[in-house]
């Protein structure tokens, strides 16, 4: 049974946390192998499931201890047909993986049901292809057809919402939003930007958000920025109509470019306190921000500092 699909509590303005860079944390900090960066594969064996459980328990406990809501992601970012061949699985197996990921999240929500803040189950949708740079341009209609497969699988579960995470093209985001609307799923779009604050396609962040809203009658619940350091896009933000559509941040701990991160054999975890201070500065400029987590290179340490900085007392 879905809990918040009819109305997302984030829209009421309370503070929410999310998790951090799950793949980089588990791979580099805990020595867990994740085939093709597809975290749903960890649900297939006891060691992988235990690592996911420990990871998520830390963030849910943090949200409990400071009395805020939590956006609980399903590990479905790469549980889509584009990666089926690389993972050696069938569409039927991917469907089961999506359902298993939601069941895993639902069990965690039940276990933390005494948390003061709402726990919102969020089905992750990744881009079709490389999340750092688009393999090819994807038209909105093609994206709608493609992503409808996974969205249909998720619509039949307990997810409260879906998020198009680390998207690099506004047209692909348009397709996801249209598809999610057709299944009655609240949808969030989270774009990634390069060190110049633009999408990998060269499009300005504001233009990307405006183009998605214009093409979909503004049906997306809100927008986010992820997989970029605050220094890469803070200068692009101001009190504008499009910036007011951004509610969430899931930033990289590192200031490296995507190309540099892709080539790096070691983890750049940055400075958790410094990253939190960057969040605090953005929150001061954009006081409507209310969903905070991390992305590549970040872990529970970073999100704890972020929570203290933007949610805790001055």
pLDDT tens, 22-78? Answer: 999 999 999 999 999 999 999 999 999 999 999 999 999 999 999 999 999 999 999
**Mean of pLDDT values over 111-138:** 90
| Per-residue confidence (pLDDT) for residue 146, from 0 to 100 | 97
- pLDDT above 50 for 198: yes
Helices 300-310 and 272-285: crossing angle, nearest 10°?
40
Residue 307 pLDDT > 50: yes
Q: Region 86-100: what's the mean pLDDT?
A: 96
Amino acid 115: pLDDT: 97
Mean of the pLDDT values across residues 275-290? 96
Structural domain spans, the chain: 9-310
Contact partners, residue 176, CB within 8 Å, separation at least 6: 125, 143, 144, 147, 151, 164, 167, 187, 189
Calculate mean pLDDT across residues 222-248. Answer: 95
DSSP string, 243-261: GGGEEEEEE-S----HHHH
Residue bearing the bigger pLDDT, 134 or 45: 45
Q: So what's the pLDDT on residue 271?
A: 95
Average pLDDT over residues 113-142: 91
Residue 134 has pLDDT above 80, yes or no: no
| Percent of the chain clearing pLDDT 90 (strictly above) | 89
Quick one: pLDDT at residue 312?
65
Tell me the C-alpha distance between 191 and 170, whole Å.
Answer: 8
pLDDT (0 to 100) of residue 1: 66
How far is 162 from 96, CA to CA, in rounded Å? 17
pLDDT of residue 213: 98
**pLDDT value of position 132:** 65
Residue 257: per-residue pLDDT? 82
163-167: average pLDDT: 97
Residues 173, 205: Cα–Cα separation, whole Å:
13
pLDDT at 265 over 80: no
The answer to whether residue 133 scores a pLDDT higher than 80 is: no
Q: Which residue has the tokens 């998720």?
A: 154
Query: Where do we find the tokens 């709608």?
Result: 144
Instruction: Give the model's pLDDT for residue 195.
Output: 94
Q: Hey, what CATH topology would domain 9-310 get? A: TIM Barrel (3.20.20)
Q: Is 67 left (phi over 0), alpha (psi -120 to 50) or beta?
A: left
- Strand 291-294 versus strand 222-226 pairing type: unpaired
Residue 81 token pair: 């047909």
Q: Is the pLDDT of residue 313 over 70?
A: no
The pTM assigned to this predicted structure is 0.96
Query: What pLDDT is stored for residue 263 in this prediction?
Result: 75
pLDDT of residue 314: 43
* pLDDT > 90? residue 129: no
Residue 242, token pair as written in the block: 């499009």
99-116 confidence digits (pLDDT tens) = 999 999 999 999 999 999
Average pLDDT, the chain: 95
């Amino acid at each position: 049974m879905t809990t918040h699909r009819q109305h997302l509590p984030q829209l009421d303005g309370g503070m929410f946390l999310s998790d951090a860079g799950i793949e980089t944390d588990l791979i580099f900090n805990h020595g867990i192998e994740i085939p093709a960066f597809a975290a749903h594969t960890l649900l297939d064996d006891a060691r992988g499931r235990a690592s996911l459980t420990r990871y998520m328990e830390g963030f849910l406990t943090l949200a409990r201890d400071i009395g805020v809501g939590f956006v609980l992601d399903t590990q479905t970012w790469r549980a889509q047909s584009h990666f089926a061949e690389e993972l050696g699985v069938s569409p039927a197996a991917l469907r089961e993986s999506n359902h298993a990921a939601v069941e895993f999240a639902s069990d965690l929500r039940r276990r933390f049901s005494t948390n003061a803040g709402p726990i919102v189950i969020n089905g992750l949708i990744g881009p079709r292809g490389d999340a750092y740079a688009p393999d090819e341009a994807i038209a909105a209609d093609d994206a709608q057809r493609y992503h409808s497969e996974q969205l249909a699988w998720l619509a039949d579960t307990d997810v409260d919402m879906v998020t198009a995470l680390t998207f690099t093209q506004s047209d692909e985001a348009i397709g996801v939003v249209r598809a999610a609307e057709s299944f009655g799923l609240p949808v969030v779009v989270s774009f990634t930007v390069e060190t110049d604050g633009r999408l990998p396609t060269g499009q300005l962040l504001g233009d990307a958000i405006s183009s998605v809203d214009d093409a979909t009658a503004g049906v997306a619940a809100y927008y986010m920025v992820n997989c970029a350091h605050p220094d890469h896009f803070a200068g692009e933000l101001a009190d504008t109509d499009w910036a007011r559509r951004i509610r969430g941040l899931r930033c990289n701990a590192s200031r490296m470019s995507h190309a540099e991160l892709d080539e790096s054999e070691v983890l750049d975890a940055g400075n958790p306190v410094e990253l939190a201070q960057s969040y605090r500065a953005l929150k001061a400029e954009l006081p409507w921000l209310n969903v905070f987590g991390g992305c590549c290179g970040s872990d529970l340490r970073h999100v704890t500092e972020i929570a203290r900085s933007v949610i805790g007392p001055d």
